[in-house]
Each structure stands twice: as C-alpha cells, then as structure tokens.
Amino acid sequence: MFGRETQLVDCREAMGLGRGGGIAQRGTLSEAARPDVVAIAMTPGRRHITKPVCEITYGLRREGIQVSVLVLEAGAGIPMDEVGSSTSSRGYGPKFGLTAKEIEQIARHKLVLIHMGNVNSHIVSKTKKILKYVDIPAVIACEYPIDFEDFAKAGIKTKFVKPKNPETEGAVVAIVSGITRGETCSRGSLNNLVKEIRNILGQKLEDTHAVRSDLLINEGLMASEEPAESE
C-alpha cells in the first residue's frame, strides 16, 4: 500500500543482493499492474550504485503513479559500438548493452524513466541505445547538468530540439538533473520528476509502442556477462 492507493507489483525473479537483500539483482524486473512507467536502473556494483532509484520509485508510487523497475543485465560503461569511443573513456567495467527481452519489457510501458550518473558521454550513449529500439517518451534522471541539445547532437530525438539526422525511435521529453547516484534524492528533484511524469502521462499516448525487431536481428545486444563494477 502506497499512500491511499493500493498497488500490485509483480516481484522479481531472483532475491536481492547484499545484507538483507536490499540491492536488486541485475537482469530483473519488478512489474506494476498498470504499465505506466518503467524506471531503468543500471547494473549494481561496488562503484555503480543504483540508489536512489528505490526512493524515486517509492515517491512516484505514493503519488499514484504505477512504476515498474528494471535493473539491466549489462548496464555499465558505454555501448561497444559507440563511434569514437576510446579506451580511456570506457571505464573499468563491462560495456553497456541490452537484451531483446529487456527491449520488450520497456516497450510494454507508456514512459521510460532512465536513471544515470554524472558522465556526460555515458548518459548520451546509453539513452541513444535504449531509444534506438523503442518508440517511447523518456525522462532522464541524472547528476550531470545535461540539456536537450546534447542529446540532439548525438542524433537522439527530443521534445524541444530536433536532431539533423534522427537515429532513435523514442524521444527525450524531460530532464531532471542534480540527482546524485548513491545519495538520497532531494524532495525538490522528486517533485520535479512527479510533475514531469504526470504531465507526460496526461497527454494522449498510444497504449502500445513499436519495437524495432528488425534492428534486433543479428545485432550483438548483450554486451557482457560479467558483473558491472564501474561507470
């Protein structure tokens, strides 16, 4: 029960990690009864903390927003096929990737909330990888003060800035920065997320979103089988 509204959430496939099982396993989904929002958390690790995804999720649910939470199987670093990536900018963990199953899980929802950190190139490249396959509006929650122009320059569709050569199906429609990974989310940032998400869900969205299955064929979507440790 969250506030005055009871919400049903389908539990994860595997038990949590750490003392008391407080950290969700990678590659797992806790799915809400109504597919409104899916919050994406990067793969947990020693230097790759998923907090405050849990606080954000709880806060959204208290406001009556149905939220599923997907913890990626391989969510660290940047995509292996990122053009111009160098060894010095790739970090120490496995590279970011998505599975076809994760693509389909995201596509079942009306909106995707992507939680990331403070590395500009990682935020842009991960967002591009996710929105390349799914036609869905995205809200970005991160620490780095990124803007719509940064996404548009990389070919990512946005609500306010149109890229010269669009390379994604989905679009970034809102950005809430100043959310530090591993730290408690401020009430102001949480209020901004609630405001943005309510505004988007209030618009007329399609009940289903197209998955670019043709792009998934023969592509190496799974980036790594090793646990992520850094970003």
* Domain-embedded: residue 135: yes
- Domain CATH for 117: 3.40.50
* Domain-embedded: residue 173: yes
Pick the most confident of 75-79, 186-190, 220-224: 186-190
pLDDT at 227: 40
Supply the pTM of this predicted model.
0.77
Domain count along the chain: 1
Pick the most confident of 90-99, 164-173, 179-188: 164-173
- Residue 110 is part of which domain span? 23-82+90-216
| Nearest Cα residue to 7 out of 60, 75, 80 | 60
129 Cβ contact partners less than 8 Å away, ≥ 6 residues apart: 79, 96, 97, 98
pLDDT, one tens digit per residue, over 84-127 is 544 444 444 457 888 899 999 999 999 999 998 888 988 999 99
Helix, coil or strand: residue 157: strand
13 pLDDT above the threshold of 60: no
* Domain-embedded: residue 62: yes
For 104-147, give the DSSP string: HHHHTSSEEEEE--S-HHHHHHHHHHHHTTB--EEEEE-SS---
* Domain-embedded: residue 75: yes
* Domain-embedded: residue 14: no
* Domain-embedded: residue 175: yes
